[in-house]
Amino acid sequence: MTELVVGTTPVVIEETRGFWEGTLVGELRVQRCTACGARQLPGGPCCSSCWSRDLVWEAVSGCGTVFSFTVVRHAFHPSFADRVPYVLADIRLDEGPILTSNVTDVAVEEVRIGMPVRVWFDEPIEDAFHTPLALPKFRPE
């Protein structure tokens, strides 16, 4: 079977631009609705709670806990062949939304549900249209 390999770099679109701009200045940002106060990730064209379009990107603490995770031991995509085993985790931010990312700087066997983590930002890269961004990742507090 031949495989069409799809790229692994995010693509910055209008709905996520504020998020990625934040990563370049060391801020983890969440979209907040100024009409009802709901916070959401990923960014969208409207507030998914009240449909207001009055949305702002707001820096959050960067702190959260591991809500769930997996230790990936098989590389399903060639880009990750030299990274296995790695931890893919859903981080529940202290401010509410869940963000999928990696937990780094810890043995994969030690990652636990409920583990407190804090964000850090990887080296800046560019998306396919040369828009700069930096991947937010997490390490134990």
Partner 1 sequence: MSTSGMIAIAGVGTTPFGKLPGRSAWSLQAEAVRNAVADAGLTKDDVDGLFTEPQFSEPLLLHGHVLGRMLGLKTDYLSTISIGGATAITLVQQAAMAISAGLCEVAVCVYGENAKTGLPMLFGLAQMGRGQADDIAYGMAGGPVMEARSAMRYKHEYAVTDEMFGAVAVSFRHHATMNPAAMYRDPLTMEQYLASRMVAEPLRVLDCTIGASDGGVAIVVTSAERARDLAKPPVLVAGMGAGHNLDGLKDPAHYTHFAGARSSQRAYAMAGIGPQDVDVAQFYDCFTSTVLITVEDYGFCKKGEAGPFALDGNLKVGGRLPTNTSGGMLSEANMTGWNHLAEGVRQIRGECGARQVPGAEVCVVSGHGGFQAAHATLVLTKGGR
Q: Which residues bind partner 1 (CB under 8 A)?
A: 1-13, 15-16, 41-43, 48, 67-74, 76-77, 79-80, 83, 86, 88-90, 92, 97-98, 100-102, 113, 135, 137
Integer Cα distance of 134 and 121 in angstroms: 6
Give yes or no for a contact between 104 and 111, defined as CB atoms under 8 angstroms apart: no
Structure tokens at 79: 């880009």
Give yes or no for a contact between 90 and 67, defined as CB atoms under 8 angstroms apart: yes
Nearer to partner 1, 63 or 80 (CB): 80
Q: Which of residues 32-51 bind Zn ion (CB under 5 A)?
A: 33, 35-36, 38, 47, 49-50
Residue with tokens 């969208």: 44
Strand partners, 117: 64, 140
Min dist CB 25 to partner 1, Å, is: 19
Q: Cite the beta strand spans of the chain per DSSP E.
A: 29-33, 39-40, 55-59, 63-72, 86-93, 98-102, 116-121, 125-126, 132-133, 136-140
Min dist CB 74 to partner 1, Å, is: 4
Candidates 7, 13, 25, 52; binder of Zn ion (CB under 5 A) is 52
31 binds, among partner 1, Zn ion, none (CB under 5 to 8 A by kind): none
135 binds, among Zn ion, partner 1, none (CB under 5 to 8 A by kind): partner 1
Interface ranges with Zn ion (CB under 5 A): 33, 35-36, 38, 47, 49-50, 52
